[in-house]
Amino acid sequence: MDRLDPQLLTWTAVGVALLALLLAVVAWRRLRVVDRRLARLLEAGAPATPEGERLAALETEVERVRGALGEALRHVAVVRYDAFGDMGGRMSFSAALVDDAGDGMVISSIHARGESRTYAKGVVGGDSEVVLTPEERQALDAARTGSAD
């Protein structure tokens, strides 16, 4: 059985994480535009006409999008480190991707001389059923708080 290239898996995981972050940013920017337009309409006073009904529908849609945005994996943090003392370059990493409720995952890639191994651990409510390494915990805490420390 052919083995999958661990480095390819690592880069694939990083690519997926970056894609998720990009999609969250696009959704957030669109929400801001709709929110600004809605605020302008409300300031102008919406008449009780079909346009007023459209405004009510838009308000409902904005609330739905806000709820969906809270479930997006938009809080991301990456911690790079040397997994082994004889290796340099901080080639190992742990990446945490969570939503507003702290649900998501932590992906870790441990780089050694001859191979790299990638692990994924689920996170619910800001914690995992599987024991997290200090680096994984650091990435998760940074993603949840939005700070690098």
Low-confidence winner among 62-66, 93-97, 141-145 (lowest mean pLDDT): 62-66
Sheet holding 116-123, edge to edge: 75-81, 92-98, 104-111, 116-123
Task: Please state, in angstroms and rounded to a whole number, the distance separating the CA atoms of residues 66 and 71.
Answer: 9
For the chain, the maximum distance between any two Cα atoms, rounded to a whole number of angstroms, is 72
Tell me what pLDDT residue 46 has: 56
pTM of structure: 0.58
Q: What is the mean pLDDT of residues 76-91?
A: 83
